[in-house]
A and B are shown apart, each in its own frame.
Chain A
Amino acid sequence: MRAKYVMSEVFLGLWRNISMTVAMIITMAVSLTMLGAGLLLYNQVDVIEEYYQTNLEVVIYLERDVSEEVTAQIESDLKSSEYVAQVEYESKEDAWKRFQETFEKSPDLVASVSAEVLPAAFRIKMKDIDDADELIAQFADREGVYQATNQKEILQQVFDILGGAQRLTLIVALVQGIAALMLVANTIQVAAYSRRREVAIMKLVGAPNWFVQAPFVLEAVFAGVIGALFAFGTLIAAKIFVIDGQFADLFSLMPPVEWRSVLLLLPILAGVSAVISAITAWITLRFNIKV
């Protein structure tokens, strides 16, 4: 009976102040969408890092006129190195073949490069890619080594872009979130004012505080959850139409954004939104409804 009363008060309160309710839900939805996107990016950076952690290589290019003894010495030193998991020798011919395959679609480029130009190389799989710098330091200045490179440095740019995008989404989420919470506070104030008669009478007859506050707090929670649902819908749409749709080619360069991580956002967003809205409403009430 009390629950029924509380629920009817919640919907009445939201309806009485419908324009504010809608504004509150929209700002919340935008904020939560950004938060969700930020979390996905965060997750994505992790996934990419893990993916390349196992696939990244250190490449040691050899001088063009290196002797066979030196090559053999380098190979055996590499194989005995504590950092190295696997060593693969790529001869000049292999390198040329790989070059031709890579630039298959640019025959002009292929034609302009002669097989002689490309150096032989060792492609090294690391036990831990983070040790690449040490390995490079050990071999870079050796006789017969032309250059030692770490693919991680190239990837760093990709990470920087993803990290920047992630920061941007989180900043937008924060700013929108603050706006949303101010709207929550305002909505609660208006609701408390329009229901001041009931509230005064409830307090007079000794209604417990939670009972007086429950309709207001639930109003905020309800709006928060609806906002989270909208945000979730937007993210689902983004997954279907942007990531897997229009820009599928672009996103195929990196490991896919999985459905599992998108779906996981619903409980996270709804939970975060409900809890923060409830706390905001409760704090607002402490200033607006005195015992």
Chain B
Amino acid sequence: MPRYATHVLEPPERRTASAARLRLVIQLEGVTKHYPRSNRPSTEDINVFIDKGEFVFFIGPTGAGKSTIIKLLLREEVPDKGKITVGDIDVTKLRRWKVPAYRRSIGCVFQDFRLLPNRTAAENVAFALEVIGKPRSVARRVVPEVLELVGLGGKEHRYPHELSGGEQQRVAVARAFVNRPLLLLADEPTGNLDPDTSIEIMRLLDRISRTGTTIVMVTHDSNIVNQMRRRVIEIENGQIVRDQARGVYG
């Protein structure tokens, strides 16, 4: 068993107030979400504070409520109790019509890539700019840059089915990152990838994290967690059972 010192959660009050405002990207305070009529995983009194630029793993068994947290952060769901703040936005009080604008500050990567099959890599990335009304000139300039960054230079015009799984996930990461979001959510991004490819994706996420982007990643992959040695939050039955800086899968 690896030894780990349980990370003592620092409530924001202990920091100096201005520092807290500047640095905290995610605050979950007493967040509770139940699904009374389904057996979807619920969460119970979750308290988490995540700084700007942090790389955080959420781990735990299937059905523990990890993905529910992602849904809450994306404001696909609204908690029954508690408060969620991302950046300076109180997500729990966010009006419906303001949700799209809020989501532009968040990038998302999923296990199943979620690319449009009838669009090339470059078009998939450009789509994210297009639908939020960025002019085409911006896309022409930014898309090749970000594809280069994720290591897909030269494959801009391939369709998803012409790319390997790892390459498709790179496209997805590029799409998530192209708007330079404050926060990048990754829900099992390596779930469909072989170990070597997974490590490449993790290197990519690590590079993005170093640009100051906060990354929250839900995963089952113990190898990755153990190699990365970042903050680990373990969830079981909807509750946090461990919150540890530079943790391992355990």
Contacts and interface: CB of A to CB of B under 8 A. Distances in A.
Interface of A: 1-2, 5, 197-198, 200-209, 211, 291
28 contacts: A1-B135, A197-B116, A197-B117, A198-B116, A201-B114, A201-B116, A202-B131, A203-B100, A203-B103, A204-B74, A204-B103, A204-B114, A205-B103, A205-B108, A205-B127, A205-B128, A205-B132, A206-B101, A206-B102, A206-B103, A206-B104, A206-B106, A206-B132, A208-B101, A209-B97, A211-B131, A291-B99, A291-B100
A84 B39 CA distance: 84
B108 A204 contact: yes
B: interface residue count bin: 20 to 34
A2 B139 CA distance: 13
B130 A5 contact: yes
Contacts of B97: 209
A291 B114 CA distance: 18
Interface of B: 74-75, 96-97, 99-104, 106, 108, 114, 116-117, 127-128, 130-133, 135-136, 175, 179
Contacts of B132: 205-208
Contact of A200 (B100, B106, B114): B114
Residue from A1, A201, A204 with most neighbouring chain B CB atoms (10 Å): A204
A36 to B, nearest CB: 38
A252 B178 CA distance: 72
Contacts of A204: 74, 103, 108, 114
A200 B175 CA distance: 14
A62 B171 CA distance: 100
A206 B101 CA distance: 6
B229 to A, nearest CB: 30
Q: Which 4 A-B pairs have the closest CB atoms?
A: A206-B104, A207-B131, A206-B103, A205-B128
Contact of B133 (A2, A201, A209, A291): A2
A291 B136 CA distance: 26
B103 A1 contact: no
B180 to A, nearest CB: 13
Contacts of B108: 204-205
Contact of B104 (A2, A201, A205): A205
A1 B123 CA distance: 13
Contacts of A202: 131
B67 to A, nearest CB: 14
A2 B101 contact: no
A290 B106 CA distance: 18
Contacts of B104: 205-206
A208 B114 contact: no
Given A205-B104, A208-B132, A208-B133, 15 more contacts: A5-B130, A201-B114, A201-B127, A202-B131, A203-B103, A204-B114, A205-B127, A205-B131, A205-B132, A206-B131, A206-B132, A207-B131, A207-B132, A208-B101, A211-B133
A207 B114 CA distance: 16
Contacts of B127: 201, 205
A209 B96 CA distance: 10
B130 A197 contact: no
A209 B102 CA distance: 12
A220 to B, nearest CB: 21
Contacts of A197: 114, 116-117
B233 to A, nearest CB: 23
Contact of A205 (B75, B136, B175): B175
Contacts of A5: 130
A35 to B, nearest CB: 34
A208 B96 CA distance: 11
A204 B101 CA distance: 11
Given A197-B114, A206-B103, A206-B104, A291 B130 contact: no
Contacts of B106: 206
A1 B116 CA distance: 18
A2 B130 contact: yes
A291 B101 contact: no
Contacts of B102: 206
